[in-house]
Chain A
Amino acid sequence: MNIFTTGFRHQPWVWQVTGLCFILGTLLAGSIQTVSSINRSGIAAVRVGVPPPTASQLIEFKKLQDQIAELTKKKNDLLSSIANGNNQAKTLDEELQKVDILAGLTPVHGPGIILYLQDSKKTPPSNRLFDADKYIIHDVDLQQVVNELAASGAEAISINNQRLIARTAIRCVGPTIQVNGIPIVPPFEVKAIGDPNTLAGGLNLPLGVLDGLRRCDPDMYKLEEKPDILIPGYAGNTQTRYAKPVIDQSNTGKGNDNS
């Protein structure tokens, strides 16, 4: 019997093969679904890596913030009660106030500017990194803005209500920018106290900070001059572990560095 001449259309094995083909199809679908669910969950696992704060954590956070505000107020009250004493204490308190403002430890208010910065909503002309990069506000942009504001005589600066002090770092950490170690996300609100005209002029210098953004997308920033704005004080850690003051004033200038 030649196998090429016998038909097999109505033979029973076709039905059995069909039955097992059904099971094979199920297995195949199972494999595909499993692998794709792994791929999906891989992405999801990255997203849930940092769980959102729980309700009790938020309450705790609020409570601690209130505690900071209360303690700061108490400290100021105590200081002013000292100032009510003799003349010497009054001078000391005034000196302390000046130092606090310079160090950024107390809330201050006065005329200044508010600069809002946000990522562009425009579609970049191409997906090339160098093009797409320009449409996002980077840590470098904030650094340049802050530098320009300081150069224009700003006396107090804050970014998203994080007061900038001498020890502040502005750096890019993943998708966020950290200021004072606190992660912040756009839109950014940069507040600066100083002469509003000078501050705005400094930022608007040709080929300056805002010029670059304007060439890319004018909607990326909004600059407002305000007669009176409030900038909060620095609420973070103020301890120093390494720097020690030089007690003997006559020694200043010589230092220990040539020993």
Chain B
Amino acid sequence: MTLLPVIGTIAGFIFGMILFSHLNIPWEVANNYATYLSLATLAGLDTILGGIRAGIEGRFQDDIFVSGFVLNTLLAAGLAWLGDKIGVDLFLAAVVALGTRVFLNLSLIRRYYLTKYALRKKKDTQTSNS
């Protein structure tokens, strides 16, 4: 059950691979929006890790999660677009901010699992001793 998000990602990846290979986007267009799409992907990754963290901490709210996913994705892409228009590499701001949060959330999730593992081990030794 905890592997469901991973399975979802893989399924989505396969779906996307098939979808985009059939779309046949001309490369002039692809060249223009590649940065935005990559940034949107990063924003999506950030929101999902944030959601998992919130779920683990027991304060998951579905409206915040879904709206965060959509808005962060659009905002990151929009920021990159704005940066292109005014000649400042604004997408760097998004990359740094999102990247920091991705690592932070990931470290908290890792911490949670490590603590849980340690607790279970302790409990096991206690039950076997008694």
What is the CB-to-nearest-CB distance from B127 to chain A, in angstroms, rounded to a whole number?
15
Contact call B12/A22, Cβ cutoff below 8 A: yes
Contact call B7/A18, Cβ cutoff below 8 A: yes
One of B15, B17, B34, B112 near A38 (C-beta < 8 A): B34
Contact call A20/B4, Cβ cutoff below 8 A: no
Contact call A27/B27, Cβ cutoff below 8 A: no
Contact call B55/A11, Cβ cutoff below 8 A: yes
One of B1, B12, B52 near A26 (C-beta < 8 A): B12
Give the size of the chain A interface in residues (CB under 8 angstroms): 40
Give the size of the chain B interface in residues (CB under 8 angstroms): 50
Assuming the contacts A8-B56, A14-B4, A16-B65, asked whether A35 and B38 have C-beta atoms less than 8 A apart, the reply is yes
Contact call A4/B119, Cβ cutoff below 8 A: yes
Task: Check if A122 is an interface residue, CB within 8 A of chain B.
Answer: no
Residues of B within 8 A of A33 (CB): 16-17, 20-21
Query: Please, how many angstroms separate the alpha-carbon atoms of A27 and B5 in the complex?
Result: 15
List which A9-57 residues lie within 8 A (CB) of chain B: 9-35, 37-38, 40-42, 44-45
Task: Check if A252 is an interface residue, CB within 8 A of chain B.
Answer: no
Query: Please, how many angstroms separate the alpha-carbon atoms of A192 and B14 in the complex?
Result: 63
Query: Please, how many angstroms separate the alpha-carbon atoms of A8 and B1 in the complex?
Result: 9
Query: Please, how many angstroms separate the alpha-carbon atoms of A166 and B68 in the complex?
Result: 76
Residues of A within 8 A of B2 (CB): 9, 14
Contact call B34/A24, Cβ cutoff below 8 A: no
In the complex, residue of chain B having the shortest beta-carbon distance to the beta carbon of A6: B58
Query: Please, how many angstroms separate the alpha-carbon atoms of A35 and B33 in the complex?
Result: 10
Task: Check if B69 is an interface residue, CB within 8 A of chain A.
Answer: yes
In the complex, residue of chain B having the shortest beta-carbon distance to the beta carbon of A44: B27
Task: Check if A3 is an interface residue, CB within 8 A of chain B.
Answer: yes
Contact call B41/A31, Cβ cutoff below 8 A: yes
Contact call B55/A18, Cβ cutoff below 8 A: no
Contact call B55/A38, Cβ cutoff below 8 A: no
Query: Please, how many angstroms separate the alpha-carbon atoms of A31 and B45 in the complex?
Result: 13
Task: Check if A1 is an interface residue, CB within 8 A of chain B.
Answer: yes
**Pairs across A and B, CB under 8 Å, 26 listed:** A4-B115, A4-B116, A11-B55, A12-B62, A13-B51, A14-B1, A14-B4, A14-B5, A16-B66, A17-B4, A17-B55, A18-B4, A22-B8, A22-B12, A24-B44, A25-B12, A26-B19, A27-B37, A27-B73, A28-B16, A29-B15, A30-B37, A31-B41, A34-B34, A37-B30, A38-B27
A interface residues with partner B (beta carbon < 8 Å): 1, 3-6, 8-35, 37-38, 40-42, 44-45
B interface residues with partner A (beta carbon < 8 Å): 1-2, 4-17, 19-21, 25, 27, 30-31, 33-34, 37-38, 40-41, 44-45, 47-48, 51-52, 54-58, 60, 62, 65-66, 69, 73, 112, 115-116, 119
Supplied contacts A3-B57, A9-B2, A24-B41, 17 more A-B pairs, CB within 8 Å: A4-B112, A13-B51, A16-B65, A20-B44, A21-B9, A24-B9, A25-B8, A26-B16, A26-B19, A29-B19, A30-B19, A31-B38, A34-B20, A34-B25, A37-B27, A37-B30, A38-B31
